[in-house]
Amino acid sequence: MYLNCGICNSETILIKHPKFGDYHKCKKCEFISKDENDHVSVEEEFRIYECHNNSIEDSRYVAFFKNFIEGAVIKYAGDGKKAFDFGSGPSPVLAQILERDYGYEMDIYDLFYAKEKTHIGKTYDLVTSTEVVEHLKNPMPHFENFAKWMKDDAVLAIMTLFHPNEESRFLSWHYIRDSTHISFYTPKTFEYIAKKVGLKVINTDNKRHITFVKER
């Protein structure tokens, strides 16, 4: 079945994986989405998350986030210290580091682990989302919300591994082995998203980090 792209509504091509199912790749913005028939259940998704064992006591995990903060956040964020982490996970390590080491006042939200929506009605100087957008079935409403939660000149920093823009490499890519990963992006995809929600891409490492600003 051929679907229109969930980002830019353009025509997609079908990519079939013998083990992991079908994927739809946009010819225009390069967004790839996993076919809905191949998504795992919410219960299975939660079970997989429960297998993750990450904490602020893990020096390698902290260093992983520090690299993201130094490369995608601190260089671009202003002086404001109100921040929101979307999809904080079972242990909100990124939020803890931003509070402890960088002086941010953090709100967090997670579908499974931090369900209280303390961010509703607020705006922030910084919004972060790490290893989350690949799990989103329909990314656009989430990015519209990110923009809504940002003050003028605020920064949005996203971490997700960008897909290899070649079918044979995509089919052997380790990132699709995680059955909860259903949405895949390139910097080009994020440029299309930014234009649609009123943001501007100001930095990317072309691998897994991308930073947006909300211009006045």
| Distance from C-alpha of 66 to C-alpha of 61, rounded to nearest angstrom | 9
Domain spans of the chain, in order of start: 40-162+185-213
| CATH no. of 40-162+185-213 | 3.40.50.150
Mean pLDDT of the chain: 94
Ramachandran assignment for 63, one of left (phi > 0), alpha (psi -120 to 50 degrees), beta (any other): alpha
Average pLDDT of span 84-99: 93
Res. 1: pLDDT tops 60: no
Q: Is the pTM of this model over 0.85?
A: yes
- The whole-number pLDDT of residue 2 equals 66
Tens of pLDDT, residues 158-215: 999 999 999 999 999 999 999 999 999 999 999 999 999 999 999 999 999 999 999 8
Q: What is the CA radius of gyration of the chain?
A: 17
Q: Are 191 and 40 in contact (CB under 8 A)?
A: no
Other beta carbons within 10 Å of 40: 15
